[in-house]
Each structure stands twice: as structure tokens, then as C-alpha cells.
Amino acid sequence: MNRNGRGEKMLSRKAMQITPSPTLSIDAKAKQLKSEGKDVIGFGAGEPDFDTPAHIKKAAIDAINQGFTKYTPASGIPELKEAVCARLSIDNHLNYQPQQIVVSNGAKHSLNNVFSALLNRGDEVIIPAPYWVSYPELVKLNEGVPVIIETKKEHNYKLRSEQLEKALTPRTKALILNSPSNPTGQVYTREELEEIASVAIKNNIFVISDEVYEKLIYGESKHISIASLGEEIKKLTIIVNGVSKTYAMTGWRIGFTASEPKIAKAMADIQSHNASNPNSIAQKAAYAALTGPQDCVEEMRRTFEERRNYMVASISAMPYLTCIEPQGAFYLFVNMKDTFSRRFKGIPVGNSDQLAELLLEHYKVALVPGRGFGAPEYARFSYATSMDNIRAGLERLHSFLKELH
């Protein structure tokens, strides 16, 4: 009890209802074990294992040497906003003006800006499951209500327009759409997006389109931004993107949004109070990333595709596990349900959380249980790690599975 007699009531209800990020938690646990000298192989990381390309790092060093270390405009430096507009035009055939772009401290910060600008208390945001772990928490932090819609394996874990229509209520404010998806790696087709856009337009709901993995696409799949399907849906769409995944810049923390001017101004005003501005040096690095050579992106994409192919083939051949081939991002979402009724050295597996604990403790393999993604029968494996690590980690996983009875 503290001196005013309130005890834990000092914390806000918002703070007390938020759960820590399981992806960051498992990664931190794996890194802690590594620091203790343990030979841990991590499949938990949501970040590329490549170094940031040299020309991007040079731009940051030049910015420091030139003294570019002061405040910038709250919504980002003009040249970076123009570079974002240029990339949206080249990559997505979308026409935006710099005043429609808000640069932030990472795509997660961008999402928080979006919810802060759009949501009133009790407004509902539709989130298809499996979902990225932070979506529901960010909605709740901004006094919204997450409405979870379970997708089906036979639909490749993608939201159907009829599901969306059925979930709408007078309080529905927005839909979150993530393509390519974290954690499933699935990519929405043009036809699927057109059906969803039709429902959004008919019911005047916003579409928050998280496109951070747009450059990491495999096989015959193609990334299509829902905003590119016509002026009506573009006006209702807030694109969220960034440089973290495409350019191996997760720690640089630069994200951005593209939206209607009124929404962009609201987000810029909010950001001016809660963050002042994105990191000045990282903005210069992001400008170099967007305007410089893009061959580094293709090199990373090709490497991820090779790893994906190996992991899908290997896991599909293992007992108890099933998965569908991801079309983008760098994750494999694996159904672990058939292990739950088994025992390891007499210990019941029970669920994916327990399975992850057993794997980490006995075989030093880290993966992320599916509960945080709204899919408790699954686990997420990241292939943003070297092929040597992937081979060794999957061998350990196979050995673990062979010990189940």
C-alpha cells in the first residue's frame, strides 16, 4: 500500500489491461540465454538478420558529421516525405502529396498515431485472426474495442468479405488489413481486396492497410495496395509502412503513413506532442534507403525465399506438424495441435506455450507461441536467421518431436 492508500490503483485501467509483446519477450529470453553462453537457436525474431546496407549507414554518418542533429518538422523532413510519395507512385501506382505523409518513429508508432486520430471511446476495430500481436493492444490503448474475426485455413487465413459484413455494427470504425501477413505470410489477391473494398465503401469504414512486408513476396504472388483500387477506397485507406523490414533497419525506427490530408494533419498534430519528431539521423538514412539502389532488397528477398522453401519442406515432413506455404514476409505459421496430447519425458505438452517452454529449456530452440497472434494451436517460426541456424534448429525440433509419446 502506498502513502495515499491506493495501492495498485495508481496504475490506469489501460496500463493494467495491456499484455507484454510475446514476440519481444521470447526474443529477449533467447538473447538472455545466449549471453549466458547457451547455444540457443532463435526462430522468434521479427527482424531481418542482414546488416543495414552500407550506403544507408553512410547517409547516417554523413548526417551526424554535418550536424543534422536538431529538431525536424514534426511529421518528417520534406525530402523524405517526397521520397515516400515517389516510392508509393513507383511501387503502388498511387498519387500522394507530401502533406499526406506522416513520418514516425517506426510503423508501430504510425499505427498508434492512426488509432489516436480515428478512435473515440468504444469505437470498434475489426482485426482478422491470426493477427500481429500489437494490433489489439494498440486499439485498447486508444480506448477502442478490438473485434476479432477468426479466419479459416481453407481460405488461407484471409478475411472474407462476407465475414467482414457480418461483423459490422454501428460502432465499427475501421478494419485492419495486413498483407503480406505477420504471422501467416499470406497475401491478398486483387479480387479479394476488391470485395473487401466494396464492403468498406458501402459502410463507410476506414481500412488501415499495414504493408510493411510489401517487398518480401515469393513465387507468383504480387503485392497490391487496397488504396490503388480506386479513389473511393483510397480516401478511406490509411497506408502504414516503413523501412524496417525492407532495408534491415528495425532499430532505426522509421515508419510512415499515407492518408487523406485531414487525417494526416491530425496525426502530425498528435505526434508533435507525443514525440516531437522522428529521429533526425534515421530520417536521412531512410531517405537514402528509399532513393538509393534497390538491389539490396532483391538480394534479401531471394535469400528469404530460399530459406522459406527449405523450412516448408522440412517441417511438412515432420510428425505432428502442418503448415501452409507463406507467400510473403519471413514467417512460417505452424499448426502444433497434434503435439498437445503428447508427453515429453513424462511432462504433458498441453498447449503451444508449454511446447515453446519445453523446446527452449531442453533443446535451446526459441519460437513464438500462437496465443499472442490469436491462434493458440499454432506457433510462429521466423526464417530471418541464417541457413546454418535453420538447419540446426529444425534438426533439434525433429529430435524433440521424436521424443513425444
Same-domain check for residues 125 and 271: yes
Which residue range forms the structural domain that includes residue 302? 7-51+296-402
Cα–Cα distance for residue pair 321/151, rounded to 1 Å: 19
Same-domain check for residues 114 and 17: no
Same-domain check for residues 330 and 238: no
- Asked whether residue 1 is assigned to any structural domain, the reply reads no
- pLDDT value at position 19? 81
The average confidence (pLDDT) of the chain is 95
| 25 SS3 class | helix
Of the pLDDT bands very low, low, confident and very high (cuts 50, 70, 90), residue 243 is very high
Cα–Cα distance for residue pair 46/342, rounded to 1 Å: 29
Parallel, antiparallel or unpaired: strands 206-210 and 237-242: parallel
Same-domain check for residues 285 and 300: no
Q: Which of 236, 269, 291 is the last residue of a domain?
A: 291
Say which range, 84-88, 359-363, 395-399, has the weakest mean pLDDT: 359-363
Residue pair 46/383 in contact by the 8 Å Cβ criterion = no
Residues in CB range of 223: below 8 A, 6 or more apart = 179, 180, 187, 211, 214, 215, 217, 328
Per-residue pLDDT tens for 74-89?
999 999 999 999 999 9
Same-domain check for residues 393 and 316: yes
Same-domain check for residues 104 and 141: yes
32 pLDDT more than 90: no
Same-domain check for residues 214 and 348: no
Q: Which of 291, 309, 331 is the last residue of a domain?
A: 291
332 pLDDT more than 60: yes
- Asked whether residue 283 is assigned to any structural domain, the reply reads yes
**80-103 core/surface letters (b: 16 or more CB in 10 A; e: else):** bbbbbbebbeebbebebebebbbb
pTM for the complete prediction? 0.94
- pLDDT value at position 1? 45
- Asked whether residue 120 is assigned to any structural domain, the reply reads yes
Q: What mean pLDDT is predicted for residues 164-184? A: 98
Q: What mean pLDDT is predicted for residues 93-105? A: 98
Same-domain check for residues 167 and 261: yes
Per-residue pLDDT tens for 190-230?
999 999 999 999 999 999 999 999 999 999 999 999 999 99
Same-domain check for residues 164 and 259: yes
- pLDDT value at position 21? 73
296 pLDDT more than 80: yes
Q: Which three cell numbers stand for residue 319?
A: 510428425
155 pLDDT more than 80: yes
Same-domain check for residues 243 and 264: yes
Q: What mean pLDDT is predicted for residues 368-391? A: 96
106 pLDDT more than 80: yes
Same-domain check for residues 59 and 13: no
Task: Kindly report the CATH number assigned to the domain that includes residue 110.
Answer: 3.40.640.10
- How far is the CA of 306 from the CAs of 170, 303, 331, 379, in angstroms? 46, 5, 13, 21
Strands (E), 130-262: 145-150, 172-178, 206-210, 237-242, 255-258
- pLDDT value at position 9? 67
4 pLDDT more than 70: no
Q: Which residue has the cell 504493408?
A: 211
Task: Cite the DSSP H helix spans in 122-179.
Answer: 134-141, 161-167
Per-residue pLDDT tens for 257-294?
999 999 999 999 999 999 999 999 999 999 999 999 99
- pLDDT value at position 28? 76
Task: Kindly report the CATH number assigned to the domain that includes residue 370.
Answer: 3.90.1150.10
| 178 SS3 class | strand
- What's the distance, Cα to Cα, between the start and end of the chain in Å? 48
- Asked whether residue 207 is assigned to any structural domain, the reply reads yes
- Asked whether residue 27 is assigned to any structural domain, the reply reads yes
157 pLDDT more than 50: yes
Q: Which of 263, 291, 319 is the last residue of a domain?
A: 291
What is the amino acid identity at position 18?
A: I
| 24 SS3 class | helix
Q: What is the DSSP string of 56-115?
A: HHHHHHHHHHTT--S---TT--HHHHHHHHHHHHHHH-----GGGEEEESSHHHHHHHHH
| 259 SS3 class | coil
Q: What mean pLDDT is predicted for residues 174-190? A: 98
Per-residue pLDDT tens for 298-330?
999 999 999 999 999 999 999 999 999 999 999
Of the pLDDT bands very low, low, confident and very high (cuts 50, 70, 90), residue 6 is low
Same-domain check for residues 137 and 166: yes
Number of domains in the chain: 2
- pLDDT value at position 46? 85
* Dihedral sign, Cα of residue 121, residue 125, residue 127, residue 133: negative
- pLDDT value at position 261? 98
